[in-house]
Each structure stands twice: as C-alpha cells, then as structure tokens.
C-alpha cells in the first residue's frame, strides 16, 4: 500500500534505534528471520526496505508493525506520527486493490 504521510520518520534512523545496523551498502541481517549474511536491503531514496531472503518489504510503518507485532494505528502512535496529516491512497492503488479483490473472489 502506498501511503502519503508527510511526517514519517527516517527509515534508517528507526532501524538504528531498533538495533538494526546497516553496512555501507545499506544492507543488514534481516530482523524477521535468521540470517548468516545480510539480505535486508534499504533503499533510502524510496524510503523502503526489502529482504531478499524472506521477501518482506515495505516502509517504516510496516517495519514497525512487523517488528512489534502491532496494528497500523499502534505503529503510527509508536512512531509519533500524528493524526493531523491526511493519509491518501493513489487511484492506481485503489484499482490494484479492486483487481486483487476480484481475482480472489
């Protein structure tokens, strides 16, 4: 899901606060599964992450949801994101959700 939240915290800063240190290639051992070598890649320009081992990906909010096992609202609260900022979903995302829903139905 693509969200437009103006006051999202920096992904790298949140990772470091959670004890996940990146190497110079913006890679780390994945916090979601046992890793011997780094497979967790952060894309700072896109503010996204992806693990090539387990396939999990997302932004800072989904990262906190997965790490802490909490819902979206609790993740926003944990990150200190206020409710004053509107959350918008693109029309492309709405069409994608509709197609997925129809396919599953």
Q: Return the closest-CA partner of residue 45 out of 93, 81, 84, 10.
A: 10
DSSP 33: S
Residue-level pLDDT at 84: 60
Write the DSSP assignment of 38-88 as a string of letters.
--EEEETTTTEEEETTT--EE-HHHHHHHHHT--HHHHHHHHT--TTS---
103/98 Cα distance (integer angstroms): 9
- Higher per-residue pLDDT: 5 or 56: 56
- pLDDT tens-digit readout, 40-97: 999 998 899 999 999 999 999 999 999 999 998 889 889 988 766 555 667 887 788 8
């Amino acid at each position: 899901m693509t969200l437009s939240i103006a006051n999202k915290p920096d992904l790298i800063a949140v990772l470091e606060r959670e004890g996940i240190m990146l190497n110079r290639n913006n890679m780390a051992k994945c916090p979601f599964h046992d890793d011997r070598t780094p497979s967790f890649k952060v894309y700072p320009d896109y503010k996204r992450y992806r693990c090539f081992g387990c396939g999990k990906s997302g932004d800072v909010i989904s990262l906190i949801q997965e790490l802490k096992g909490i819902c979206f609202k609790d993740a926003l609260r944990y990150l200190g994101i206020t409710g004053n900022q509107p959350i918008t979903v693109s029309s492309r995302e709405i069409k994608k959700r509709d197609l997925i829903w129809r396919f599953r139905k």
